[in-house]
A and B are shown apart, each in its own frame.
Chain A
Amino acid sequence: MTLMQKLLGASAVLALSAGAALADPAIIFDLGGKFDRSFNEAAFNGAERWAEETGGSYGEIELQNDAQREQAMRRLAEQGYNPIVMAGFAHSSVLDTVAPDYPDTSFVIIDGVVDQPNVQSIIFQEHEGSYLVGMLAAMASETGTVGFIGGMDIPLISRFACGYAQGATAVNPDITVLSNMTGTTPSAWNDPVRGGELTRDQIGRGADVVYAAAGGTGVGVLQTAADEGILSIGVDSNQNYLHPGMVLTSMLKRVDVAVYESFSADSIEPGIQVWGLAENAVGYAVDENNEALITDEMAAAVDAAREQIIAGEIEVHNFTDDGACPIQMQ
């Protein structure tokens, strides 16, 4: 390497870091709050990892209610943050109207699709990850009944439910899959009391493994499941540590990676990015808290299914494609 190249390289690095200092990234958390131990916390961890590794700082807004969405986006855009990452499907419609007003700002939306030239939409294949934990649930269940508890009743959550049901049915065609939604308003992401009631109800109907895809409500589901002595499955972040030995596994959704990569990227490519098993963006968590619960056969069966899904040999139906699920849930 010649001296010239070194100098050029160094000045390029300087220019880049100067650029980064001029435009810090920012993130907007959704209503669950950034410490929901689940979706938003994953996003927060990604942002923190970026800040630790680069020493940079980022802007953040934690929404308190729906009316603040547009204001939050505009404020961050006008303060010059770039890119602005939005965690949560609920930002979609507002972003669709706000994005054209700030053509020089890049936006990233996780879990939603917005068709604008300066917006990147990141979609996770939750049904694939849910399929895997559905298989684990069916293999761990002794009663032949497994449960699903969703947060707000929206197609995205039905995608989790449908993937889960397909995975459970793949292991045991006679299995009964119970499914309940916590509510129909955003407060359904933060109602652990109702989550606990729904869990007791599903236990009463015979479920001995419940999968919670419900943000902060899921904390109540996992708590009740542990109290009543049945297994539960966490979501988004690794929640195995919440009740060691009582949480079968967690369906990981690497929202943290999505945030981290968006923060680190030199430029944001507009369009839709689909992240699934093949990208290692969804999966199931094994750590010291649950390794005793997952036998070698279970792990082998799930890993085989994972390979087959990536290879296209197993087709996991996506609920949001047609708004219907091939498996009947109760």
Chain B
Amino acid sequence: MDFATLLQLLDSTVRLATPLLLACLAGLFSERAGIFDIGLEGKILASAFFSAAVAYVSGSVWIGLLAGIGSSVALSGIHGLASITFRGNQLISGVAINFLASGLTVVISQTWFGQGGRTPALQGAARFENIHLPFADALMPVPVVGPLYEQIISGHSILVYVALLTVPFSWWLLFRTRFGLRLRAVGENPAAVDTAGISVVGMRFAAVGICGILCGIAGAYLSTGLSAQFVKEMSAGRGFIALAALIFAKWRPWHALYACLLFGFLDAVGNRFQNVELLGITIPVQFMQALPYILVVVILAGLVGRAIPPRAGGEPYVKER
């Protein structure tokens, strides 16, 4: 494998890891506050649709992004209402959101655009263009560092940088602020938080809201950054991969970044190397494309160390009387 191939692989990794990373951090906030969320997939899908649809109608990708975030936060609200206010089962509520998004996006898009569950292709200001960072061309002649900077760091859509900056921000918010401390406490021991006079319900709704915003950005990136239209089921299981990455990362922001980059890298490898010859044996394309999923199974089987979820995760909080 030469340097140019490696550069392309890493470039592709960054693009493919971005939606995973955003969804993973979304799950991180929600689960750290004790709300399991398997509805990430549905929120990404809903946001992918609404951001593409509104961007097409308004001609502005930023209005589209807001609409995407809005739709995702609305679904988060439903999840919160069911599992926090009414103390329903968090898993069932999440599954319901996935089904809801999967059906609603196609039906609404068919009604609005009549293209069988697609949105029309976006052009110009209705999609996120790639940004060329300063000095990218000037640095190009510098060996190794130049191409590395030009190809991997520069030349992505702005949402990629937003996603990467969200990692340190999440770390700071969760581990260096009073809000973060309370949010984590709500996921570990909500009774203690309640005793301290802080609203458990309020904290949990805040966490679910942040989760909605991040999922919204992830969905908008899929339909207006990576591609230029919405297609039914375009989230393609990314919300579930993000959940696996979250467990892999043991609910920590920086580890989430590494886990998502690893999944993105495996995805890129699966795309790049199809039917590879290794030691005289041809590895079929099916195996290469199954790599991320095989990794999920390995992780979930617990081979990568013990992953301990937040202690109050999945439990609705009932105030004792």
Given contacts A180-B274, A223-B228, contact A191 B236 (CB under 8 A): yes
Contact (Cβ within 8 A) A200 B233? no
Contact (Cβ within 8 A) B236 A196? no
Distance between Cα atoms of A220 and B229 in the complex (Å): 9
In the assembled complex, how far is the CB of residue A236 from the closest CB belonging to chain B, in whole angstroms? 15
Number of A-B contacts (CB under 8 A): 72
Given contacts A197-B12, A197-B15, contact A35 B231 (CB under 8 A): no
Interface string of A183-197 (1 = CB under 8 A from B): 110010011111011
Distance between Cα atoms of A187 and B236 in the complex (Å): 8
Contact (Cβ within 8 A) B229 A219? yes
Distance between Cα atoms of A187 and B285 in the complex (Å): 15
CB contacts (< 8 Å) of B286 on chain A: these are: 153, 184
Q: Is A85 an interface residue (CB 8 A)?
A: no
The A193-207 residues at the B interface (CB cut-off 8 A) are: 193-194, 196-198, 200-201, 204-205
At the interface with chain A, which of B29-37, B112-120, B249-257, B305-313? B112-120
Interface size of A as a range: 20 to 34
Given contacts A34-B116, A187-B236, A196-B226, contact A216 B8 (CB under 8 A): no
Closest to A222 in B: B121
| Residue in A197, A219, A223 with the greatest tally of chain B CB atoms within 10 Å | A197
Q: Is A24 an interface residue (CB 8 A)?
A: no
Contact (Cβ within 8 A) B222 A193? yes
Distance between Cα atoms of A194 and B19 in the complex (Å): 13
Contact (Cβ within 8 A) B121 A200? no
Distance between Cα atoms of A303 and B5 in the complex (Å): 38
Distance between Cα atoms of A180 and B12 in the complex (Å): 16
CB contacts (< 8 Å) of B5 on chain A: these are: 204-205
Interface string of B1-29 (1 = CB under 8 A from A): 00011001001100110000000000000
In the assembled complex, how far is the CB of residue A50 from the closest CB belonging to chain B, in whole angstroms? 19
CB contacts (< 8 Å) of B226 on chain A: these are: 193, 196
Closest to A200 in B: B12
Return the contact of A35 from the options B116, B121, B274 (Cβ within 8 A): B116
Distance between Cα atoms of A180 and B286 in the complex (Å): 12
Return the contact of A201 from the options B12, B116, B227, B232 (Cβ within 8 A): B12
Given contacts A180-B274, A204-B4, contact A192 B236 (CB under 8 A): no
Q: Is B289 an interface residue (CB 8 A)?
A: yes
Contact (Cβ within 8 A) A192 B227? yes
Interface string of B232-265 (1 = CB under 8 A from A): 1110100000000000000000000000000000
Contact (Cβ within 8 A) A220 B289? no
CB contacts (< 8 Å) of B132 on chain A: these are: none
Contact (Cβ within 8 A) A220 B227? yes
Return the contact of B289 from the options A33, A184, A201, A216 (Cβ within 8 A): A184
In the assembled complex, how far is the CB of residue A188 from the closest CB belonging to chain B, in whole angstroms? 9
Distance between Cα atoms of A187 and B12 in the complex (Å): 21
CB contacts (< 8 Å) of B236 on chain A: these are: 187, 191, 193-194
In the assembled complex, how far is the CB of residue B210 from the closest CB belonging to chain A, in whole angstroms? 25
Closest to B130 in A: A227
Q: Is A259 an interface residue (CB 8 A)?
A: no
Q: Is B66 an interface residue (CB 8 A)?
A: no
Return the contact of A183 from the options B229, B232, B289 (Cβ within 8 A): B289
Contact (Cβ within 8 A) A181 B274? yes
Q: Is A291 an interface residue (CB 8 A)?
A: no
Interface string of A156-186 (1 = CB under 8 A from B): 0000000000000000000000001101100
Contact (Cβ within 8 A) A190 B121? no
Contact (Cβ within 8 A) A198 B231? no
Contact (Cβ within 8 A) B271 A192? no
CB contacts (< 8 Å) of B285 on chain A: these are: 153, 181, 184
Distance between Cα atoms of A35 and B231 in the complex (Å): 11
Q: Is A269 an interface residue (CB 8 A)?
A: no
In the assembled complex, how far is the CB of residue A173 from the closest CB belonging to chain B, in whole angstroms? 23
Q: Is A62 an interface residue (CB 8 A)?
A: yes
Contact (Cβ within 8 A) A204 B8? yes
CB contacts (< 8 Å) of A184 on chain B: these are: 285-286, 289
The A243-290 residues at the B interface (CB cut-off 8 A) are: none
| Residue in B116, B226, B272, B289 with the greatest tally of chain A CB atoms within 10 Å | B116
Q: Is A242 an interface residue (CB 8 A)?
A: yes
Contact (Cβ within 8 A) A223 B116? no
CB contacts (< 8 Å) of B12 on chain A: these are: 197, 200-201
CB contacts (< 8 Å) of B274 on chain A: these are: 180-181
The B190-243 residues at the A interface (CB cut-off 8 A) are: 222, 226-229, 231-234, 236
CB contacts (< 8 Å) of B15 on chain A: these are: 197
Distance between Cα atoms of A62 and B107 in the complex (Å): 13
Contact (Cβ within 8 A) B116 A192? no
| Residue in A181, A201, A219 with the greatest tally of chain B CB atoms within 10 Å | A201
Distance between Cα atoms of A196 and B232 in the complex (Å): 16
In the assembled complex, how far is the CB of residue B260 from the closest CB belonging to chain A, in whole angstroms? 16
CB contacts (< 8 Å) of A191 on chain B: these are: 231, 234, 236
Contact (Cβ within 8 A) B121 A62? no
Contact (Cβ within 8 A) A187 B233? yes
Contact (Cβ within 8 A) B117 A33? yes
Contact (Cβ within 8 A) B231 A197? no
Q: Is B163 an interface residue (CB 8 A)?
A: no
7 inter-chain pairs at a CB distance below 8 angstroms, sorted by A residue, are A184-B285, A191-B236, A192-B229, A192-B234, A193-B227, A193-B236, A201-B271
Give the 4 A-B residue pairs with the shortest CB-CB distance, closest first.
A35-B116, A204-B8, A33-B116, A35-B115
Besides the contacts A33-B118, A35-B117, A192-B231, what 12 more A-B pairs have beta carbons closer than 8 Å?
A: A34-B116, A35-B116, A181-B274, A184-B286, A190-B231, A190-B232, A193-B226, A196-B227, A200-B8, A204-B4, A205-B5, A205-B8
Chain B residues engaging chain A, CB cutoff 8 angstroms: 4-5, 8, 11-12, 15-16, 115-118, 121, 222, 226-229, 231-234, 236, 268, 271-272, 274, 285-286, 289
